Chain A
Amino acid sequence: MSAVDTWINAANTVFQLHNLIFIFGISIIGLIIGFLPGIGPLTALPLFMPITFGMKPATALIVLAVLYMSCVYGGSISAILLNTPGTASSAATCLDGYPMARQGKGGVAIGISMMSSFIGGFIGLAGLIFLSPVIADFALKFQPAEYFMLAVLGLVLISASASGSMIKALIAAAFGVLTSSVGLDLMTGQPRFAFGSLYLKGGIPFIPLIIGIFAFSEILFLVRRGEGTIAEKGGLSGRIIDGLKEPWKHPKTLIRASLIGLGIGVIPGEGAAVANFTAYLIEVKSSKRPKDFGTGIPAGIIAPEASNNSCVAGTLIPTLTLGIPGGGVAAIFLGGVMLHGLNPGFELFTRHKDVLYTLFFGLVLANFVLFICGASLSRYIARVTIIPITILIPAVISLGISASYLMRYNVIDVIVAITAGVLGYFMRKYGYSTIAFIVAILLSPIAERSFFQALLIADGSYLTFALRPISGTLLLLTILVIVGPPLFRKMRKRK
């Protein structure tokens, strides 16, 4: 069967009524789930997995992948309107999206986000469809030393992008790594920092932690303002349509961020959370007016939004071609692929080509549907910012606590979420980056595992991190990110 025939067959399958209903329905559900602070694709995918059991493999994979994409789309809406990323992959969107919403331009910010996500999504999908064998080949060159250095670079980049003191951001990141080490050590089975508690031996659950650190700490900051609305000017003066036009004025930013997202997505373990920060930081560094970032400028929304959506497609590249999940959600997706009797890799690209191309076509169509739904529904979702704070606070509290409880039906999880909320409040009050803390928790397991594997391979020599070409380059970049800015500042002062 020729490539054209394969695509025509895929289109025929996708345009069957039941598949169209699934794409449309799951897109809306995913947008809503992604919008809910703390509940992202990592929560939604396992919950939806049992529903796909009765479906044909192509439909099941479309449902899971569309849910993933739509959650990332939806996560940006709450990042812009509530300063609470619905998913970790939208955390960097808060930095300029929220200030723009507070200026009463919530509609414009969402328009920018939707168009950037749409274009980023397409560039990512183009990468997934056409470049997957080439990019996956490069990812194969990564050994544990490279994974470790990549995690370190990710953390340092995130700390460098935090507002305020970099030392404090690094302290927050280090405590994030430490928080992640609570529980049983994966290598030895030794409980660490559990203090005899059975609950702590299982580790600190991530979902309640992220709900507390982001959603509840934001609520505690909001409540200090007393009455009023989230939008300081009390309305949404900007139109979504204005926002939809804005990304076209920044083509370089769009393409650069999308390619960064795609590249990071391909590297297993990194994912959209790192992609959107890296794209944001690179945008700040390459801008002629870096000080404008954080005040609510379009480029500060375009970069993270284009990158996180192209990253979604990027994470599927190693998942489908090599069977190595590009991230946590991709790992769940991989589970879905295997549960439907499909083996990733060569077999999937040859024997089940029809399923794979149906998935690709479905994702392209879903990107259109998400853009249309997001742009048309966000007009109503944007009204969240004109709801009085006194009504919004109880709503977010009930949502966050229900979501924390839902994970394992454990009351202690709720207490963890509330404690994390108080911790997040004080961290923000005293200038410790909550985002660096959370991303560190995400990257820490990969970093620790890769660290030991790299040392084992190198017979205990720490030089392996510096002497391997890719790892050495990453180490050099890490040092540059730490030492570079103060050095440049000093050089500028001398001039």
Chain B
Amino acid sequence: MKKRLHRLSEAYSDVAINLALLMVSIFLLVIAGGYPEMARTFPRLILLLIVGLTALDIFTKLWMKSEARSPQEKREGTDRKQKVRVIITVALMFAFLFCMLVLGFTVGVLVFLFISAWLLGYRNIKVLLISSILFTGFMYVVFIVIMDSILPVGMIFEMLRE
């Protein structure tokens, strides 16, 4: 019974996603309708294809035996802890952007590597410090020495310079 319920909930989550995709496609179809003939033909063909495919997927999920999920998919149940970790990582991505713009590329990378690894649970300070310095050096060589890129100096250092 539990297994059946789980399979049913999996099928319904797929149906919900397909319905969302279907609605997005119909919305985009309406928008594409306003474009000139040449510009709208190809996107409309693709959108109609998506409508057909999502409808077919809904049909297979509801009226036919639930399609077997790949082994990788079967493992993807997410508990609360995992969800929190994923959210923290996305937040870290924005945090790095902020670090880079405020502290500059080199200092930003160094500070970010150290603090975020600590936040993610790594506690060996010696290894953390050495790896942060080494990786910052690697990034410096690749982006600044080899590629000769201009990366942010950092708002703080710009203000100090002024």
Say yes or no: B142 contacts A174, CB within 8 Å.
no
Task: State in angstroms the CA–CA spacing of A395 and B105 once bound together.
Answer: 13
Q: Which residue of B lies closest to A295 (CB)?
A: B71
List which A190-235 residues lie within 8 A (CB) of chain B: 190, 192-193, 216, 219-220, 223-224, 226-227
Contact B36 A190 (CB under 8 A): yes
Q: Is residue A364 within 8 Å, beta carbon to beta carbon, of the partner chain?
A: no
User: How long is the Cα–Cα vector from A178 to B48 in the complex, in angstroms?
Assistant: 11
Q: Which of B28-42 contact A (CB under 8 A)?
A: 28, 31-32, 35-36, 38-39, 41-42
Given A193-B31, A390-B121, are A401 and B93 also a contact pair (CB < 8 Å)?
A: yes
What are 12 of the A-B contact pairs (CB < 8 Å)? A36-B142, A164-B69, A188-B38, A188-B39, A390-B121, A394-B120, A395-B135, A402-B151, A405-B97, A405-B152, A418-B93, A418-B94
A contact residues around B96 at 8 Å (CB): 394, 397-398, 401
**Which among A33, A223, A391 is the interface contact of B122 at CB below 8 angstroms?**
A391
Q: Which residues of B contact A219 (CB under 8 A)?
A: 89
A185 to B70, CA, bound (A): 38
Residues 155 to 202 of chain A near chain B (Cβ within 8 Å): 163-165, 167-168, 170-171, 174-175, 177-178, 181, 185, 187-188, 190, 192-193
A interface, over-half SS: helix
Instruction: Mark B68-90 against chain A: 1 for CB-CB distance below 8 A, else 0.
Output: 01101100101001100110111
A425→B120 CA distance, assembly (Å) = 19
Of the 9-residue stretches B1-9, B108-116, B153-161, which lies at the interface with chain A? B108-116
Q: Give which listed residue, B13, B21, B116, contacts A171 with CB less than 8 A.
A: B21
Q: Does B103 contact A (CB under 8 A)?
A: no
A458 at the interface (CB under 8 A from B): no
- Please classify how large the interface on chain A is, using the bins under 10, 10 to 19, 20 to 34, 35 or more: 35 or more
**Interface class of chain B by DSSP:** helix
Residue from B54, B101, B149 in contact with A411 in the complex, judged by beta carbons closer than 8 Å: B101
Nearest chain A residue, comparing its CB with the CB of B127: A391
Q: Tell me which residues across on chain B come within 8 A of A36, comparing CB atoms.
A: 142
* Nearest-Cβ distance from residue A315 to partner chain B, whole angstroms: 23
| Contact between chains at A411 and B97 (CB < 8 Å) | yes
Known: A170-B53, A429-B76, A452-B38. A223 touches B113 (CB 8 A): no
- Knowing that A167-B53, A192-B43 touch, tell me 17 more A-B residue pairs with CB under 8 angstroms: A47-B148, A171-B54, A193-B43, A220-B86, A223-B85, A224-B86, A226-B121, A391-B113, A391-B131, A393-B89, A394-B116, A398-B113, A402-B105, A405-B100, A428-B72, A431-B73, A448-B42
Interface residues of A in 400-450 (CB under 8 A from B): 401-402, 405-406, 409, 411, 414, 418, 421-422, 425, 428-431, 448
Which residues of A does B touch, CB under 8 Å?
29, 32-33, 36, 47, 163-165, 167-168, 170-171, 174-175, 177-178, 181, 185, 187-188, 190, 192-193, 216, 219-220, 223-224, 226-227, 387-391, 393-395, 397-399, 401-402, 405-406, 409, 411, 414, 418, 421-422, 425, 428-431, 448, 451-452
CA distance in complex: A387, B56 (Å): 44
Distance of A221 Cα from B89 Cα, bound (Å): 10
* B139 interface residue (CB < 8 Å to A): yes
- Residues in chain A near residue B43, CB distance under 8 A: 178, 181, 192-193
Q: Provide the bound-state CA to CA distance between A405 and B139, in Å.
A: 14
- A167 contact set on B, CB distance < 8 A: 53, 56-57, 60
For B31, the chain A residues whose CB sits under 8 A away are 193
List the 9 closest pairs (A to B, CB-CB), nearest first: A390-B122, A394-B116, A190-B39, A164-B70, A390-B120, A224-B82, A185-B39, A223-B89, A163-B70
> A125 CB to closest chain B CB, in angstroms?
26
Closest to A168 in B: B57
